[in-house]
Chains A and B, each alone.
Chain A
Amino acid sequence: MPLKDPYLRETPSQTAGPYVHIGLVPAQAGFDIFEKNFSNRVEGEGPRIRITGKVLDGLGAPITDVLLESWQADADGRFDNPAFRGWARAASAFDTGEWTIETVRPGAAPNSDGTMLAPQIGLWIVARGINIGLSTRLYFPEHAEANTADPVFSRVPPHRRETLLARPKGDGNGALGGVQDYRFDIVVQGEGETVFFDA
């Protein structure tokens, strides 16, 4: 006979609160404590991109105490490259609400079910007033075909897909050898609300 409930239940989430910076980005809280700090920059081989954006609340105001983390494959589409940690952590500026992540352009990645994941960056957002971290994904408009074949992007109602697309800045092709800039604003609530996933 199996046990009635052989599983444990997940620890329930609570908001990161207004002082999340102390624990996760202490320099932004206003002090220096650790010898080594995490940053909003991913190191690794491949073309560089820089994503800048704001997270907006239901009134259209920037959330100025938001913390974001990103997770992505390397330039060849590998999530398991031991020489590459495709993770960054960024906090918004307290005045403007703007945040930036600088990283390597991710490659398309094979998924466990045989499909291909379009080049993408997973984003996880926490802040005061957010009871459980919000997960979204940034896709690139240059990869329209791969996006349509992506098992997650294709699940999003077509009229909401635009909320997941980064906007290239400048010429859209990146300066030769330089860093290609993208804009990615996230709307937590209201008109143009960004798609968040339960994955």
Chain B
Amino acid sequence: MTALPEEEDIMLRNAPADPAPLFPRDRAWHPPAYTPAYKTAVSRSPRLPLVSVRPTAAENTGPRFTIADLGARDSDLLINFAAPGQSAIGERILVHGRVLDEAGRPVPETLVEVWQANAGGRYRHRNDTYFAPIDPNFGGCGRMLTDADGWYEFRTVRPGPYPWENGPNAWRPAHIHFSIFGSGFGQRLISQMYFEGDPLIALCPILTTLPDAAARDRLVASLDMNAAVPLDSLAYRFDIVLRGRRSTAFENRPEGN
């Protein structure tokens, strides 16, 4: 086996000096800032309109991450906080999907970070006071890089729903938080993945900050029996799309694309 030449390693980390500009973001598809049904947003939403500008080098470029940033077990939430020989309590699942951009290109080698409540709906966080117990073998976070074709995959337990103080009887549907980078800082995105068939989805004031039913549907992962591991775990498929770019410099050949 030959080691990767150092120069190539550097090439991977090195964003193009003048990457192609990002597509404009469709703000009507995203949630508005001011969403009174989600109460916390009321005092945390700008009142003045965003100032629209063309993406500059500051948006078109972004940080690069490599496997050197990660540990070997970071993407396995079943065991990445568990005592040796132990694993998290709950319904074992595999979550996988592809990160693409709006032009349909895979987004390779990009950092995906996830966090979630445990199977009982409790977060390992000093500010979470819900009385469901902490699972001593579950941290609730993981991270990974997409492969050359944009695929990611992690193992975890299905998170539980939990009550919150948005209303007298408000409950969050089971969900996993996702943070994705892309190749330009203007693609930076945080979202949440929900589970197909969860009756709490229709009642969630955070999911319904999205005005468009088609947009809400995009956050619901489907049960994927082809990826389920027999006698081990069910699987859910969740594809992610980041802002696209005009043709890259590399593809922008004189003879045309």
Contact = CB atoms under 8 A, between A and B. Distances in A.
A80 interface: yes
Contact of B189 (A13, A38, A122): A13
A94 B126 CA distance: 10
B50 A130 contact: no
B81 interface: yes
B228 interface: no
B102 A8 contact: yes
A141 interface: no
Contacts of B256: none
Nearest to A7: B102
B78 to A, nearest CB: 13
B38 A131 contact: yes
Interface residues of B, number: 92
B227 to A, nearest CB: 20
Instruction: Please report whether the interface of chain B is mostly helix, strand, loop or mixed according to DSSP.
Output: loop
B26 interface: yes
Given A71-B62, A196-B46, A124 B215 contact: no
Contacts of A24: 113, 115, 179
Contact of B43 (A7, A59, A135): A59
B70 to A, nearest CB: 7
5 tightest CB-CB pairs across the interface, nearest first? A23-B115, A129-B40, A129-B44, A87-B63, A131-B31
Given A126-B190, A130-B33, A131-B32, A117 B56 contact: yes
A8 B80 CA distance: 34
Contacts of A112: 18, 21, 56-57, 60
Contacts of A178: none
A10 to B, nearest CB: 5
B10 interface: yes
B95 interface: no
Contacts of B215: 9, 12
B245 to A, nearest CB: 12
Contacts, number: 267
Nearest to A195: B51
A120 B56 CA distance: 12
A51 interface: no
Given A14-B191, A129-B44, A109 B57 contact: yes
Given A80-B15, A82-B13, A111-B57, A22 B219 contact: no
B147 interface: no
Interface in B235-251: 240-244
A134 B46 contact: yes
A69 B63 CA distance: 11
B140 interface: yes
Interface string A36-77: 101000000000000000000111010101000101110000
A21 interface: yes
A97 interface: no
A188 B47 CA distance: 8
A150 to B, nearest CB: 9
Interface in A1-23: 6-23
Interface in A108-146: 109-113, 117, 120, 122, 124, 126-135, 137
